[in-house]
Amino acid sequence: MKKLMFAAPLALFASVAIASDLEARVEEMMLSSFKANGIASLDRQKRDEIQKACSSPTQPDAETMKRLEAVEMQTIQWPANGDYWQGGSWEEGQRIALSGRGLTWTDNADTVNGGGCYNCHGLDPANESAGTIGPALHGYAKVRGTSEEIVKYTWGKLWNAKAYNACSDMPRNGFGGILSEEQIRHVMAYLFDPASPVNK
Amino acid sequence: MRKKLLATVVGTAAVLAASSMTSAQELNFDEYRQMLRDGNPAELFEMEGEELWVTARGPKNATLEQCDLGLGPGVVEGAAAQMPRYFADTDKVQDLESRLMTCMETLQGIDSKEIIDGRFRQGERGKVAAIVAYVTGQSHGHKINVDLSDPKVKDMYDLGEKAFFYRTGAMDFSCASCHSQDGLRIRATGLPNITTPEGAAEGWGSWPAYRVSNSQFWTMQHRLWDCFRQQRTAEPIFGSDVTIALSVYMAGKGNGGEAVWPGVKR
């Protein structure tokens, strides 16, 4: 009995030690198994806090998620001129939504990045070859309206999706330098302009 | 005979490549797959690989007929279905491609560095792909059977599982971002859920494959390389630990599923 009580904490300690050893070996492997190629440098193999926290099949507890989201929320840059979408062009936004280009080792620093939105979302109901990793956004403004609240939320979501859902599968477009502020405004127009095919 | 097959196969591929598929057709790719079933262009690579296996080559002017893929020197049938596996002579868990590098180096004197630093579909790395077509073809219809009771294999499986969920790079993706839910698509392309035995067997058991969209034959090393490219990581090194670990994870998870090698893909 006494022996058992002694053994249990030891076993627990051992399994924790093995788990952190595995973690360290994976980090090492994710560096040593790669080489830099053009714009795809080895920095990409190092995770920031949110990537680390979301690297397992189960997401962190609610409190941690909230804390991580608050940090990401601080990174959002709201439009300097207060213009969320009116000055954008839905036609431009459509091109950005359709393009999945950019940031691979076969791209270069001059490549104009796309948002790759269609990889994951249905947007224009007429486009049948949209992905389904994210929710369908057909009729976005028609369904949700154009209140300040929804417009602001959408800008924030596009700038840094992790501010609203720490372990979202959606990239952090603004924060990560994937899309510029101007490009985000165009995509916003694609979602909100009544003339956009998304809202037809 | 060979010439005739070549003609039909090239003909089919050209027709498919030339007809620009509409999105609706893309969604119905199963029909194309059915059409190709009788003449998978990968057969050309199988034939080339079989010839390479028995041809004396390299500085040592030797064939690969004494290559041990885990079932004894020269045994090819069923060998790929049990890979990756642990090899005592190299003290490493190896997938088919890294094992072939070992055989080419020790038996034929072909420097592995040439393959590791090479490019897909070219030079010696291209020859490895043809041999992969031949060897995996000899496991067609076999059940995937990776030995997870071997502690060294299990260790790689654990590393592979971690790597699968490892979020990194410019878009915060891990393999799981695209391959951990049932029935999802990127654009019109279906994505298997590799975290389930069925999805893992579907993914692992259908590569290497002939890709109709670009008329190219791709091995699993090539497949993983392109997924990492889409993941926006740095470039994985050919045959590196991460590629082996992920292969063990997928093959081990898919154990018991059927290998339909070589496959044919959109």
For residue B175, give the chain A residue with the closest CA: A55
Query: Has residue B7 got a pLDDT over 70?
Result: no
Residue A70 DSSP SS3: helix
Which range of residues forms the domain containing residue A136? Answer: 90-199
The string of pLDDT tens digits covering residues B155-198 is: 999 999 999 999 999 999 999 999 998 888 888 888 999 999 99
- CATH for B42-265 (1.10.1740.110, 3.40.1260.10, 3.20.170.30, 1.10.760.10): 1.10.760.10
Q: Does residue A186 lie in a domain region?
A: yes
| Domain count of the fold of chain A | 2
Distance CA A81, CA B7 (A): 63
* Shared domain check, A94 and A54: no
Nearest to B162 among A26, A54, A171 (CB): A26
Q: What is the DSSP letter of A78?
A: P
Q: Does residue A79 lie in a domain region?
A: no
Bridging pattern class, strands B189-191 and B184-186: antiparallel
Query: Has residue B18 got a pLDDT over 80?
Result: no
Q: Does residue A133 lie in a domain region?
A: yes
Distance CA A9, CA A38 (A): 49
Using CA atoms in the order B33, B35, B36, B37, what is the torsion angle rounded to 10 degrees?
80
| pLDDT per residue of chain A (200 residues) written in tens, 0 to 9 | 444 455 555 555 566 667 789 999 999 999 999 999 999 999 999 999 999 999 999 999 999 999 999 999 999 999 988 999 999 999 999 999 999 999 999 999 999 999 999 999 999 999 988 999 999 999 999 999 999 999 999 999 999 999 999 999 999 999 999 999 999 999 999 999 999 999 99
Determine the distance in angstroms separating the CA of A33 from the nearest CA of chain B, rounded to an integer: 5
Any A CB within 8 A of B8 CB: no
* Shared domain check, A96 and A30: no
For residue A34, give the chain B residue with the closest CA: B236
Cβ–Cβ under 8 Å, residues B178 and B187: no
- Residue spans per domain, chain B: 42-265
* Shared domain check, A129 and A44: no
Q: Show residues of chain B in contact with A42, CB under 8 Å.
A: 234
Residue B27 to residue A132, Cβ atoms within 8 A: no
Nearest to A51 among B172, B230, B241 (CB): B172
H-helix or E-strand containing B236? Answer: strand B235-236
Nearest to A129 among B171, B187, B243 (CB): B187
The residues of B assigned a catalytic role are 227
Query: Has residue B27 got a pLDDT over 50?
Result: no
Residue A36 to residue B234, Cβ atoms within 8 A: yes
Determine the distance in angstroms separating the CA of A184 from the nearest CA of chain B, rounded to an integer: 16
Last residue of a domain, one of A11, A36, A59: A59
Q: Does residue A68 lie in a domain region?
A: no
Any B CB within 8 A of A45 CB: yes
Any A CB within 8 A of B133 CB: no
Distance CA B245, CA B98 (A): 12
Q: Does residue A83 lie in a domain region?
A: no
For residue B230, give the chain A residue with the closest CA: A104
Last residue of a domain, one of A59, A79, A102: A59
Chain length of chain B: 266
Distance CA B139, CA B153 (A): 20
* Shared domain check, A143 and A49: no
Query: Has residue B1 got a pLDDT over 80?
Result: no
Interfacial A residues in 102-121 facing B (CB < 8 Å) = 103-106, 118-120
Any B CB within 8 A of A15 CB: no
Residue A129 to residue B23, Cβ atoms within 8 A: yes
Mean pLDDT of the B206-232 span: 95
Cβ–Cβ under 8 Å, residues B85 and B94: yes
List Cα–Cα distances, B265 to A72, B12, B80, B221, in angstroms: 40, 14, 20, 16
Residue B173 to residue A169, Cβ atoms within 8 A: yes
Residue A99 maps to which CATH number? Answer: 1.10.760.10
Any A CB within 8 A of B241 CB: yes
For residue B182, give the chain A residue with the closest CA: A133
